[in-house]
Structure 1
């Protein structure tokens, strides 16, 4: 295990479900560790202290030379000001998903980080489940492919209608698609490239702008086409991305990867999401220490999925807001 004096010191901003996942990943990273938690909610701050973590003010960690990076586990609509303050203090950024509300916001974050000379990463840990050779090595591999994405993550209506940020589309960005379907939608964009056409077909909302079911269609610059179904209205838990190309095919199902390309098998067994988050932190820590630059974890890789979300969630679709049982 690396000495904490030389490891990447991370302040986790927000100690909800995502924040706790970040702290767990940091505990296993070796090359990075949690210096502190920043949390304004008294109950969440008490949980952090009970977990043995120091709870500090944002201004305090920004002024601390032992804090090298901030993990922003905040609602998407509440991050920009904290990100600006972090970059001004010379801190690297790690954003929880979804990383931005629109392509313009993502471009602004990337420009901000570039001008400040800091690294910008995003917690799309499922990218680390894909064999590296599939990530952009051959842009023609999936030219003209057809693909399907099906995500079912059951959630009660109270999850999206409760008081707080999850019921406010300005803070939450959306519902099931933005927060649960987004991981595999990002995988599709990593494989197929940037979308050039996004068509939302139908949507059911728990509250205006907070989707619980969405169907859509994407056409990519490669000519590949993707049909998307994301729902929280089924009792099933199911995650599957299937891509069928001319001489290659790929399936990612519940984290396991199988397929074939050029006659060569593609096999990667499922690994715990906690382990994938740790690998992401290790890549960030290595880049911050002067090693290989950010690659899989890079925020710049999120341009495709942000454009996809923007099209699916903001373009007109057949949409119904109805009470859920």
Structure 2
């Protein structure tokens, strides 16, 4: 932590994804003061506040008008984001938003513009970047120790049973913006892009398997050409019983690199093997929340410091647009049965 200033935060959204945030905020109580938690359901917001010892807010407008609220932590479903971002940003509040920013790239861009026009910071919850293994790999790639990345494999072999998709709106375009790509694989794809740089083109197939009754895809596969010349493949599914941890594999000049379950494994071309990080759950099986909250804690702490120190957070809204554009390209490629070029779409 680089600053001792305490940040006031308001929470909007108290569903399943709120638990790791609440636990992280409890640990960060000396740095972040929760000024209120709001959900449309009075029963849900009261239960959430009682569980974690937070005050209850009776409306989003109440939080936006509170002069002691510096930032919004937005944990609603994607279809409830734009109006809330506009309300808080125009009140001068910074915004930390759960992934995805919105359901479509165009709506995500609108959120980025809203915060930019209001002069407030916009952070996005891509906590996988804050894993020790991810940060170690980023440093090694930056230093040149591994040489260039030549081949990439992104694998998200997750499982969700039908009860997961029986929740109203889940797996629909109207509420979530899609299926496995935007709801689950987005974390792995964001981490991949943070390490590889932009994708130049994709060719993909998306489908809904007989395992699920849902509108959007529960399976996606694709080939990727990166702007740095690397080639890659993607497999993402919530139809892979019983579910396994997502992984990224990079074939580099000097080593083969695997990131899985919070562990970085390097197999050097000279025969050495080394590992970094500690194994942890990732939510790839029947329990979507079976992962530690420490990554959320590091991300929220960084966002609080970004406000106190007046700097960008480590994961900005502009950063998030890269993965939104990639997902849109994958979906377009599958729908239209063609290769999709992303060149020029990354700015």
Aligned to 2:23: 24
Q: Does residue 157 of structure 1 match 2:140? A: no
**Is 1:305 aligned to residue 323 of structure 2?**
yes
Tell me if the contact between 1:185 and 1:305 (Cα under 8 Å) persists in the aligned partners.
yes
Quick one: structure 1 residues 220 and 245, their matched pair in 2 at CA, closer, same or farther if it must change by over 3 Å?
same
Question: How far does residue 216 in structure 1 lie from its aligned partner after superposition?
Answer: 1.7
**4+ residue runs of structure 1 moved beyond 4 angstroms?**
1-4, 138-144, 260-266
Query: Which deviates more from structure 2 when the two are superposed, residues 64-73 or residues 219-228?
Result: 219-228
- Answer with 231-240 or 122-131: which moved more: 231-240
1:168 — aligned with what? 172
Unaligned runs of 5+ in 1: 320-325
Distance of 2:153 and 2:46 partners within structure 1: 43
Instruction: Flag structure 2 segments of 5+ consecutive residues without an equivalent.
Output: 281-290, 338-347
2:285 aligned residue = none
The match for 1:216 is: 222
2:94/2:122 contact within 8 Å kept: yes
8 Å Cα contact 1:143-1:223 kept in structure 2: no
The separation in 1 between residues aligned to 2:16 and 2:165, in whole angstroms, is 15
* Counterpart pick for 2:150 among 145, 163, 167: 145
Give 1:270 deviation, angstroms. 4.2
Residue 91 (structure 2) aligns with = 89
The answer as to 2:293 corresponding to 1:287 is: no
> Deviation per CA, 1:124-154, whole angstroms, max 9, x where unpaired?
1110111267178479977562111111222
| Cα distance in 2 between the residues matched to 1:198 and 1:139 | 27
In structure 2, the CA distance between the partners of 1:261 and 1:25, relative to structure 1 (3 Å rule), is: farther
Task: Give the aligned partner of residue 11 of structure 1.
Answer: 10
Separation (CA, whole Å) in 1 of partners of 2:13 and 2:327: 23
Does residue 1:269 correspond to 2:278, yes or no? yes
Quote the offset at 1:286 in angstroms.
Answer: 0.7
Aligned match of 1:37: 37
Q: Taking structure 1 as the reference length, what is the TM-score of the superposition? A: 0.86
CA pair 198-76 structure 1, distance change in 2 beyond 3 A: farther
Moved more, 38-47 or 131-140: 131-140
What CA distance in whole angstroms lies between the structure 2 residues aligned with 1:177 and 1:61?
32
Report the RMSD for the aligned CA atoms in angstroms. Answer: 3.0
